[in-house]
Structure 1
């Protein structure tokens, strides 16, 4: 298979540019790597355990711990021990963290606008449908693989 035919390489190229764009856009907030994804997730799933956040974002526990510690250092989140199970830490978004959410959403929207800028409305819809279809295929694969 020729390099130009490798879909994974094209996806990796887009992912790499996505990562770089978002990190540059959020540099003034000290948000690096997956930190913005944790904040976005907590904005609608506040109080999740570190482990469930890692699982939801499909990241290792170690990566989650590092990201949450950094977010805590900058005052974007705080952790509390679970009342029922003291081994579990619940993570909550702070007021400062909520204030950053619009900037994250703006950066993500700007990135989408750049990524889709050369597509017609019809092409964009087809692209989105194909991404949804492949995402669903992978979700089904994950379910089958875990059994």
Structure 2
């Protein structure tokens, strides 16, 4: 699993390099394309990343003009993050890159194997989510 994830990161970083997207930045844009205006903290939680990683990624995305940050009107401690028009234009590019990667990864699988693989990954994810909820972080 780690080997697949490593290759995925290398591929995505290489394909998105012309757009100055690195690391989890593309995941932030994808999330914002669905939940525009969410807080930095909720972005970090949703993507299972630290607040520090979220802050760096959002700051870098803002520097490239892909997002804007504004303070919440009701709670000035909270930053709301909004995808910009130029950030929104990258969404199809990101989807195309992810689709190509998935096509390569699954190219030797039959249709039945692809369906089974997806079910097994979903089952593993559900198990991890239950573990995260019940795990003691102290």
Q: TM-score normalised to the size of structure 2?
A: 0.97
Structure 1 stretches of 4+ moved >2 Å: none
Matched, 1:94 2:84: yes
What is the aligned-residue RMSD (CA, Å)? 1.0
For structure 2, which runs of at least 5 residues remain unmatched after alignment? Answer: none
Q: Deviation of residue 146 (structure 1)? A: 5.4
Matched, 1:77 2:67: yes
Q: What residue number does 2:119 align with?
A: 129
State the distance in 2 between where 1:25 and 1:106 align: 10
Instruction: Pick the aligned partner of 1:141 from 119, 122, 131.
Output: 131
Question: Over residues 77-133 of structure 1, what are the superposed CA-to-partner deviations in whole Å (9 max), with x where a residue is unaligned?
Answer: 000000000111000000000000000000000000000000000111111111011
Q: Deviation of residue 67 (structure 1)? A: 0.4
| Bigger-Rg structure (1/2) | 1
Matched, 1:60 2:58: no
Number of aligned residues: 137
Q: What residue number does 1:106 align with?
A: 96
Matched, 1:36 2:26: yes
Q: TM-score normalised to the size of structure 1?
A: 0.91
Q: Deviation of residue 143 (structure 1)? A: 1.5
Q: Deviation of residue 59 (structure 1)? A: 0.3
> 2:102 is paired with a residue of what secondary structure?
helix
For structure 1, which runs of at least 5 residues remain unmatched after alignment? Answer: 1-10
